[in-house]
Amino acid sequence: MATSKVLLSVLKGKCADLGLKCFSTSSVQHKKSYKLVVVGGGAGGCSTAAKFASKLGKGQVAVIEPSDTHYYQPLWTLVGGGLKSFSQSNRPMGSVLPRDCEWIKDRAVSFDPENCTVTTSNGQQVNYEYLVIAVGLQLNYHHIKGLPEAFEVDSSLCSNYSRQTVIKTFPALQAFKGGNAIFTFPNTPIKCAGAPQKIMYLAEHYFRKAGIRENTDVIYNTSLNVIFAVKKYADRLLEVIKNRNINVNYQRSLIEVRPDRKEAVFAKLNSDSGETETFHYDFMHVTPPMSAPDPLKAAKKLVNEAGFLDVNQYTLQHTMYPNIFGIGDCTNVPTSKTAAAAASQGFVLSHSLAAQMAGQPIHPGPSYDGYTSCPLITGYGKCIMAEFDFDAQPLETFPFDQGKERLSMYLVKKDLLPKIYWNLMLNGQWNGPKAYRKMMRLGFDTGSKHIPTTPSLKV
Ligand SMILES: Cc1cc2nc3c(=O)[nH]c(=O)nc-3n(C[C@H](O)[C@H](O)[C@H](O)COP(=O)(O)OP(=O)(O)OC[C@H]3O[C@@H](n4cnc5c(N)ncnc54)[C@H](O)[C@@H]3O)c2cc1C
């Protein structure tokens, strides 16, 4: 009791320093209070909690996360391609969250940054001194007419993007006997922008192995007007597409699925008159529209116009509230949304947040350079390992041209990265490949020039 009084007074003082009204009412006894609250226990949230839980000590860090299971989503491309089982992508949430943190197994439904409170779906109010928001992206299948219901009735429809539908992909590939195989890319920001075409290359290779490629049209209908954001990799992918006889239609956004007639309707984004185009499909892989999760979008003081958490792209600190930070897919950081990006952001975030906690300036400190990576699997045994920064410039780790299709990079994606994720990243020990890049390139590094400093943590 005495300890909690002392802690409360310390926390009260800290919030006053920040000019915030945390713990200002007597109802504090009915609320749970923590030094650090992390909302979301996915790739970014779990690794951030791990970085702070042991340093701050038991009872100081809470993770609000509703899911029983933690998913390593990058594996879902391989699950869809029949290379890994779905169960290899899952672990119980309790087994990956750090021992020293408290798991609040519920969903955050509202944020009150003025009073440093997050409310969960069962009405619990959780007070924080510092908050990290890591809620990922929401999948909006329901924005496409006919979905998600059509997944239930049509076994030739699949999607690697959700846990319910990824298990349909490989059976659908096996059952396909030729015709139109369509792969879509939606008209919103998405996680892993390479994944909609990775499964297409695997499928195309699979059709050749199955001897049905001759009777198959492989069609990539994308809302974008380029195949990939980084020119170096886009040029290589266009060669792959040409050599493999894949049909690409740009600026086509899926708006309706009619499973009874096996029809997919696409909006032509380059038409002023709202034109649509209808395709017959015999197999279709859908990448859904995505957005920040609704509770975050509703927190108008925290988000930008598009609904993403508004943070400084270099420090990951919120632009209005200095005690709030963000990591991963739910932020407005202008880079490709991947677990690889979250790992590199985690390094910067931990320094920024530790500096804020210690009352030290965040600058100079490490600055996020936009590092992100997309292992572009182009077939069974082949991968272009894209790594790049905010300026869409390659930021490659290995001392060879990663724009070439390579078996070695495929093995990195298939076997090495999952191990790094489960054994290092989720424990807070993997900050991206920057240190290795420097070693492999004999000290040459094109990334951030800031010199990392580690402010000591004070509770
Ligand atoms: C098919 C596919 C392929 C991919 N391939 C790659 C790849 O090759 N390389 C790569 O680096 N990345 C890849 N990714 C992307 C990668 O998985 C994500 O970018 C990464 O998981 C983002 O981490 P995050 O913490 O921001 O979000 P997530 O890991 O999605 O975690 C978000 C967490 O927040 C929780 N949550 C949501 N709403 C709330 C709420 N209201 N309250 C509390 N908790 C909430 C969720 O339950 C979830 O646990 C791929 C993703 C997919 C789907």
Nearest CA to ligand 1 atom 31: 42
Instruction: Using the mean position of ligand 1's atoms as its centre, give its distance from the Cα of residue 347 in Å.
Output: 18
Atom number, ligand 1, closest to the C-alpha of residue 372: 11
Q: Please state whether the predicted TM-score (pTM) of the whole model is above 0.85.
A: yes
Distance 190 CA to ligand 1 centre (A): 10
Residue 444, pLDDT score:
55
Indicate if ligand 1 lies below 6 Å from the C-beta of 144.
no
> Which numbered atom of ligand 1 lies nearest the CA of 195?
3
Residues 179 and 283 in one domain: yes
**Which residue's alpha carbon is at the smallest distance from atom 30 of ligand 1?**
136
Taking the CA of residue 77 as reference, the ligand 1 atom at the shortest distance is 1
The reply to whether 174 and 58 lie within a common domain is no
* Whether residues 120 and 168 fall in one domain: no
> Pairing between strand 252-258 and 263-268?
antiparallel
For the residues 146-165, what does the mean pLDDT come to?
Answer: 98
Using CA atoms, how far apart are residues 328 and 370, in angstroms rounded to an integer? 11
Residue 453 in domain: no
Report if residue 212 sits inside a domain.
Answer: yes
Same domain for 185 and 278, yes or no, is yes
Q: How far is the CA of 275 from the centre of ligand 1 (A)?
A: 34
Does the CB atom of residue 409 touch ligand 1 within 6 A? Answer: no
The CB of 46 under 6 Å from ligand 1? The reply is no
Same domain, residue pair 155 and 192: yes
**Once rounded to an integer, what is the mean pLDDT over residues 23-47?**
78
CATH number at residue 184: 3.50.50.60
User: Which of 302, 308, 335, 338 is the best mutation target for the ligand 1 pocket, counting ligand atoms within 8 Å of the beta carbon and taking the most?
Assistant: 338
Please report whether residue 59 resides in a domain. Answer: yes
Q: What is the pLDDT of residues 108-137, one digit of tens each?
A: 999 999 999 999 999 999 999 999 999 999
Q: Are strands 179-185 and 276-280 parallel, antiparallel or unpaired?
A: unpaired
- Å from CA of 319 to ligand 1 middle: 23
CB 41 less than 6 A from any atom of ligand 1: yes
What pLDDT sits at residue 365? 85
The average confidence (pLDDT) of the chain is 91
CA–CA separation, 349 and 388 (whole Å): 19
Q: How far does residue 137's CA lie from ligand 1's centre (Å)? A: 7
Claim to verify: residue 10 and residue 143 sit in the same structural domain:
no
CA distance 294 to 456: 36
For residue 189 and ligand 1, the question of a CB distance below 6 A is answered with no
Residue identified by tokens 């006997």 is 177
- Is residue 447 in some structural domain? no
* 45 alpha carbon – ligand 1 mean position (Å): 10
Which residue has the CA at smallest separation from atom 6 of ligand 1? 74
In a shared domain, residues 381 and 428? yes
User: Are 401 and 436 found together in one domain?
Assistant: yes
User: What spacing in Å lies between the alpha carbon of 70 and ligand 1's midpoint?
Assistant: 10
Q: Of the residues 259, 290, 321, which one is the last residue of a structural domain?
A: 290
Read off the pLDDT band of 8 (50, 70, 90). Answer: very low
Residues 50 and 192 both lie in one domain: no
Asked whether residue 309 falls in the same domain as residue 283, the answer is: no
The answer to whether position 381 is within a domain reads yes
- What is the domain extent for residue 276? 139-290
What value, to the nearest 5°, has the Cα angle with vertex 346 and ends 120 and 457? 85
Strand partners, 303: 309
C-alpha of 438 from chain center: 25
Are residues 126 and 251 both part of a single domain? no
Last residue of a domain, one of 240, 267, 290: 290
The reply to whether 445 falls in a domain is no
Burial (CB count <10 Å: 0-12, 13-18, 19+), residue 450? middle
68: Cα within 13 Å, side-chain hemisphere: 1
**Which residues belong to the active site?**
192, 374
- The verdict on residue 83 lying in a domain is yes
Rounded CA separation 151/149 (Å) = 5
d(CA 53, CA 97): 10
In this structure, are 258 and 315 located in the same domain?
A: no
**47 in any annotated domain:** yes
Which amino acid residue places its CA nearest to atom 44 of ligand 1? 40
* Per-residue pLDDT band at 442 (split at 50, 70, 90): low
pLDDT tens, residue by residue, 288-335: 999 999 999 999 999 999 999 999 999 999 999 999 999 999 999 999
Single residue among 357, 388, 403 that ends a domain in this structure: 357
Q: What is the pLDDT of residue 360?
A: 94
Q: How many domains does the chain have?
A: 3
- pLDDT tens digits for 72-89? 999 999 999 999 999 999
Nearest residue (by CA) to ligand 1, atom 13, is: 74
**Index of the ligand 1 atom closest to the CA of residue 293:** 38
Count of CA atoms in the C-beta half-sphere (13 A) of 225: 3
75 lines ligand 1 (CB under 6 A): no
Under 8 Å between Cβ of 202 and 380: yes
